[in-house]
């Protein structure tokens, strides 16, 4: 089912997740992320897609009482990023994230992009300038903001803000980028921009995206996982999931009979 | 199809209902306006009364003269210098401690019974009558620590009063920062301290400053605790200057000096039988109110300026 010569970048193995209130949000999830491919997570609201995505950069560690079980292995170094001995900050330095709602810091455009590097102790002005430019170009925002890098980020439009957040996540050269419904707060044109951007980004890195929009998953992703009630129902190449799924539940969801 | 009679009737009923409901709007607006106007007028009358009574004394001499047995020549030099120095001590003690405590409680402390206990205590501290702080300070700072009836003691005492205000306002300002901004900072790999320093503290600064200035405005008018620790009521000399002309240009002898503050000076004059002193008291009262309003004004302006730059 999987094309040959695909390299696995990360893989969740028998991954379970419990929220602090005891909710068993993810049950025995096994999903591989292939290198330089886009993997989409689809499924109805509350099925655990976002919970799964947010485990990849240990966001759940910010709130006490959440429990991980099982593994998410990051290759090629075979690090289990859920291991208590692995510092969540180390994980976040390798795997960056773009959120559902554009969330730039109330700082300048420049500082927003440079922040990830500053956190890593980089203060060399020239290097920061170069990196900021590179990241803004990578997020196809450079031409729109190059003359006003010191402007406050919230003066940008929603779509520009989201691309700024992508630039911020890109500036630190992540191995994997997580997108949590990145276009759900944007208009159709901004959505197209972001989708094109993601197709561009996958030449360099691995992408995991949560989306409510099935057409979006079909348009941009290489692999798709359908999740329901905390379980992974089916994972396959996107073409197969959308044309010839092997599970009845997947087909019902795809064809709109359910969800 | 003809217009249904029933529908028209319904429409009239709805309009009547809306009118009825809107009447409640106007009633509440009216009552609210009346209450606010009453309060505002009361404050204004009080203030104008003080200004009119004290007007003959409102000149530069009043600020540059020591108190005196003769009402005409008496001024508030030692009182405003004393108030300023005490406030400086209060500021440098209460602000770092209050802001740090607020950050710790909000960002670092584990939620549990201990945090709840501290929370309840801080809230209660804000409500303790100020005379109690005065008694605490008398026992602790004056006698136990042997700091004497000094500017330092007064500053520490007032900082106890100010501390809960600073802590509460810091915590509220921090809580107002949206979760998604915080998560954005963590997501790029920031540590808790980096998030606190680069984001939380900066975005909360408007609220923190407001709390600080409101706390200071409260401290400047406090009388009871300062009397309790034994501030002088009549003082015709200044503390040693904090700035000197020899290296290192700063001295701390003033911390140890006796002092008086504006409200005590006012209290002292108002308790004299001669009418001339009452004019002095009124003028001092006007000065205190102007200072308080000025500080609140600065707080509002600062908050506005900072909020203008921060949007989520």
Q: In whole angstroms, what is the distance from residue B267 CA to residue A124 CA?
A: 60
Average pLDDT over residues A31-42: 95
The mean predicted confidence, pLDDT, of chain B is 88
Confidence (pLDDT) at A40: 95
What is the model's pLDDT at position B227?
A: 87
% pLDDT > 90, chain B: 41
N-terminal to C-terminal alpha carbon distance within chain B: 53
Question: CB pairs below 8 Å between A and B: how many?
Answer: 65
| Predicted local confidence at residue A259, as pLDDT | 60
**Longest alpha-carbon distance in chain A:** 56
Please list every residue in chain A whose beta carbon sits closer than 8 Å to the beta carbon of residue B311: 106, 154
What separation in angstroms does the CA of A239 have from each of A220, A222, A231, A234, A259? 11, 8, 21, 13, 20
Instruction: Give A139-179 pLDDT, tens digit per residue.
Output: 989 999 999 999 999 999 999 999 999 999 999 999 999 99
Q: Do A119 and B187 touch (CB under 8 A)?
A: no
What is the three-class DSSP state of B82? helix
User: Contact at 8 Å (CB) between A163 and A195?
Assistant: no
Q: Give the pLDDT of residue B305.
A: 87
- The minimum CA-CA distance between B187 and chain A, rounded to whole Å, is 6
Point out which residues pair with A40 in neighbouring strands: A209, A224
The per-residue pLDDT for B310 is: 82
Q: Does B310 lie at the interface with A, CB-CB under 8 angstroms?
A: yes
**Distances from the Cα of A192 to the Cαs of A163, A196, A208, A215, in angstroms?**
12, 6, 18, 12
**Nearest-by-Cβ selection for A168 from B188, B203, B309:** B188
User: Does the beta carbon of B252 lie under 8 angstroms from any beta carbon of chain A?
Assistant: no
Q: Which domains does chain A have, with CATH numbers?
A: 8-254 (3.40.50.300)
pLDDT at B3: 56
pLDDT at position A175: 94
Task: Give A22 to chain B, closest Cα distance, Å.
Answer: 18
C-beta of residue B254 within 8 angstroms of C-beta of residue B152: no
The pLDDT of residue A2 is above 80: no
pLDDT recorded at residue B71: 77
Give the model's pLDDT for residue B302.
Answer: 86
Complex-level ipTM: 0.92
Residues 6+ apart with CB under 8 A from B161: B130, B133, B215, B218, B219, B222, B225
**What pLDDT, on the 0 to 100 scale, is given for residue B54?**
87
User: B309 to chain A nearest CA, in Å?
Assistant: 7
Distance CA A168, CA A102 (A): 11
Chain A CB within 8 Å of residue B194 CB: yes
Instruction: Name the percent of chain A lying above pLDDT 90.
Output: 85
Residue of A nearest to B108 (CA): A62
Task: Work out the pLDDT band at A16, boundaries 50, 70, 90.
Answer: very high
pLDDT digits (tens, 9 = 90+) for B186-231: 999 999 999 999 999 999 998 999 899 889 988 888 888 888 887 7
Q: Please compute the mean of the pLDDT values over residues A11-40 and round it to a whole number.
A: 94
Comparing CA positions, the residue from B214, B203, B215 lying closest to residue B297 is B214
Its pTM stands at 0.84
Query: What are the chain B neighbours of A169 within 8 Å (beta carbons)?
Result: 187-188
Measure the N-to-C terminal CA separation of chain A; round to a whole number of Å.
Answer: 26
C-beta atoms of A115 and B180 within 8 A: no
Express each pLDDT in A62-93 by its tens digit.
998 899 999 999 988 999 999 999 999 999 99
Chain A residues with CB inside 8 Å of B178's CB? 103
The alpha carbons of chain A give a radius of gyration, in whole angstroms, of 18
Of residues A221 and B235, the one with the higher pLDDT is A221
B7: pLDDT confidence band, cut at 50, 70 and 90?
A: low
**Partner-chain residue, chosen from A64, A120, A154, that has the shortest CB–CB distance to B189:** A120
Asked if B187 is an interface residue toward chain A (Cβ–Cβ < 8 A), one would say: yes
Residue B21 near chain A (CB below 8 Å): no
Question: What pLDDT is stored for residue A3 in this prediction?
Answer: 56
B190 chain-A contacts, CB cut-off 8 A: 89, 115, 119
Range B69-84 average pLDDT: 86
Task: Give how far A199 is from chain B: nearest CA, Å.
Answer: 22
CA distance B100 to chain A (A): 21
């Amino acid at each position: 089912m999987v094309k040959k010569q695909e390299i696995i970048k990360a893989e969740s193995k028998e991954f379970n997740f419990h929220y602090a209130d005891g909710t068993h949000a993810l049950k025995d999830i096994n999903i591989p992320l292939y290198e330089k491919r886009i993997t989409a997570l689809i499924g109805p609201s509350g099925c655990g897609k976002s919970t799964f995505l947010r485990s990849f950069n240990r966001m759940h560690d910010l709130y006490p009482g959440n429990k991980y079980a099982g593994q998410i292995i990051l290759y090629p170094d075979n690090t289990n990023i859920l291991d208590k001995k692995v510092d969540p900050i180390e994980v976040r330095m390798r795997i960056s994230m773009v959120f559902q709602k554009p969330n730039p810091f109330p700082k300048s455009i420049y500082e927003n992009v440079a922040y990830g590097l500053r956190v890593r102790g980089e203060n060399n002005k020239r290097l920061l300038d170069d990196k900021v430019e590179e990241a803004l170009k990578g997020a196809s925002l450079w031409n729109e903001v190059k003359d006003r890098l010191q402007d406050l980020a919230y003066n940008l439009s929603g779509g520009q803000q989201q691309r700024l957040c992508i630039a911020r996540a890109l500036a630190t050269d992540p191995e994997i980028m997580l997108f949590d419904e990145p276009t759900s707060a944007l208009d159709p044109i901004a959505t197209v921009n972001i989708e094109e951007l993601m197709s561009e980004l996958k030449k360099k890195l691995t992408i995991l995206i949560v989306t409510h929009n099935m057409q979006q998953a079909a348009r941009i992703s290489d692999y798709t996982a359908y999740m329901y009630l905390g379980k992974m129902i089916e994972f396959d190449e996107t073409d197969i999931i959308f044309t010839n799924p092997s599970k009845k539940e997947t087909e019902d969801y795809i064809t709109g009979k359910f969800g | 199809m003809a217009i249904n009679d029933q529908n028209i009737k319904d429409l009239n009923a709805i309009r009547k209902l809306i009118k009825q409901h809107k009447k409640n709007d106007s009633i509440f607006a009216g009552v609210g306006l009346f209450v606010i106007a009453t309060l505002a007028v009361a404050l204004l009358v009080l203030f104008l009364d003080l200004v009119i009574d004290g007007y003959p004394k409102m000149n530069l001499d009043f600020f540059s003269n020591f108190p005196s047995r003769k009402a005409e020549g008496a001024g508030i030099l030692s009182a405003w210098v004393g108030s300023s120095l005490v406030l400086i001590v209060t500021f440098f003690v209460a602000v770092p401690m209050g802001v740090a405590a607020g950050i710790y409680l909000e960002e670092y402390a584990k939620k549990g019974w201990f945090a709840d206990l501290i929370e309840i205590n801080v809230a209660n501290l804000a409500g303790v009558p100020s005379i109690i702080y005065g008694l605490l300070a008398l026992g602790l700072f004056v006698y136990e620590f042997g700091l004497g009836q000094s500017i330092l003691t007064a500053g520490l005492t007032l900082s106890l009063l100010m501390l809960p205000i600073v802590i509460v306002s810091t915590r509220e300002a921090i809580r107002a920062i949206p979760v998604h901004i915080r998560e954005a900072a963590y997501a790029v790999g920031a540590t808790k301290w980096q998030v606190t320093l680069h984001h939380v503290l900066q975005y909360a600064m408007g609220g923190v400053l407001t709390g600080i200035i409101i706390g200071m405005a409260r401290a400047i008018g406090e009388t009871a605790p300062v009397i309790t620790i034994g501030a002088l009521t009549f003082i015709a000399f200044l503390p040693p200057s904090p700035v000197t002309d020899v290296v290192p240009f700063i001295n701390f002898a003033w911390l140890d000096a006796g002092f008086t503050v504006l409200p005590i000076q006012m209290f002292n004059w108002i308790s004299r039988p001669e009418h001339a002193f009452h004019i002095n008291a009124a003028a001092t009262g006007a000065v205190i109110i102007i200072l308080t309003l000025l500080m609140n004004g600065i707080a509002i302006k600062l908050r506005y300026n900072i909020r203008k730059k921060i949007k989520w």
